[in-house]
Structure 1
């Protein structure tokens, strides 16, 4: 087979899908079906029903990855973030997850997650410049 490498700037979702397919096939062959399951816990305005924030996660290979957690500015410090995290952990336990992992920046309150029992397993310095990105996990089993 002859191949070539092309550079694409701002590729569309079809390019990502094409690259992911052989990677996912290889991963399935090595580690089995990840059985992905997406979940969301949303914070809504009681009157309008508008989504103001929440938590989005995916469970695969028996680990929950928290991709997004955003608490509305007007509810910060009132336990909303803790409630979201506790609900996610409860769901992860119900689903038989080994643990939960996430990443966050130094300006996004990594201490919040550490207060909830998460431990650092990695750190990327200067991302963004003069800041840090933390990788945290919490084993449930």
Structure 2
């Protein structure tokens, strides 16, 4: 047996490690199905200008990314995406949505839509903060 260290691991090695954990975890969860989702907005040239993506697992929808291109901000696209993702969550029988954001991003944005802050991680990654929100549907 040997130990290895890598600061540039191969994606397939990370996937293999994740698969070991998922296989173990599945023995302890009532549901095994995990679904990725993506809702996107494209301009007339078919270029992505905004989107929201994440994963559905049991009662939970976890949002990994919500982004709007800078030139398209303040046009309501973020609000529309949140409304659509909440509708998708209900359709998929989710009871909760989980999302995190950095202090310079949307920490004041999500509470406007009923998201409750449940954790603030200080000094992340160095001097910033990461804020974690949950919304019960």
Structure 1 residue aligned with 2:4: 6
TM-score (norm: length of structure 2): 0.93
CA distance in 1, matches of 2:113, 2:104: 17
CA distance in 1, matches of 2:103, 2:46: 31
How far does residue 18 in structure 1 lie from its aligned partner after superposition? 1.5
Gaps of 5+ in 1: none
Give matches, 1:1-141, under 5 Å.
3-46=1-44, 48-140=45-137
Cα deviation, 1:74-103, whole Å, max 9, x if unaligned, reads 221121100000000011011110110011
How far does residue 53 in structure 1 lie from its aligned partner after superposition? 2.1
- The structure richer in helix per residue is 1
Between the two proteins, the alignment pairs up a number of residues equal to: 137
Q: Is the 8 A contact 2:38 2:51 kept in 1?
A: yes
How far does residue 9 in structure 1 lie from its aligned partner after superposition? 2.2
CA distance in 1, matches of 2:4, 2:31: 31
CA distance in 1, matches of 2:85, 2:55: 10
Root-mean-square deviation over aligned CA pairs:
1.3
